[in-house]
Amino acid sequence: MAMTDSEYHQLADEMFSAIEDAIELAIDEQDADVDIDASGNVLQLEFEDRSKIVINKQEPLHQIWVATQFGGYHFSFIDGKWLDERSDAGEFMPFVIASILRQGGVQLKL
């Protein structure tokens, strides 16, 4: 059965909140320099070197898209997991954690 818009937003919002909470913790514990801008369907992370990771909801497709300095990725909710359908990025949260470490040098605890 297809996911409803309401279910999609609930699942995506949970991912966004978990990322924001983990970054706030990293800022406190690691003195990490990360600016968070959460606006509408977009979560933008800006690091000390001014590079950005942009995570946004694509409601019509029921996907979460992630743009990093090394590529763009599209995640769909499949069999209870957010999985990248275009490359070998795998699951959403491990990918985001690795991307934030790789690009911003910040280790997230989730």
Supply the range of the domain harboring residue 22.
5-104
Q: Are 41 and 57 in contact (CB under 8 A)?
A: yes
| CATH code (residue 76) | 3.30.920.10
What average pLDDT score do residues 60-68 get?
96
Q: Which residue has the higher pLDDT, 1 or 40?
A: 40
- Domains in the chain, number: 1
Residue 86 belongs to a domain: yes
Residue 109 belongs to a domain: no
Q: Is residue 40's pLDDT more than 90?
A: no
Model confidence, pTM: 0.92
pLDDT at 109: 84
Q: How far is residue 18's CA from residue 29's CA, in Å, rounded to a whole number? A: 16
pLDDT at 1: 62
pLDDT tens, position by position, 67-110: 999 999 999 999 999 999 888 889 999 999 999 999 999 999 87
Residue 110 belongs to a domain: no
pLDDT at 104: 93
The alpha carbon dihedral of 36, 26, 89, 91 has a sign of negative
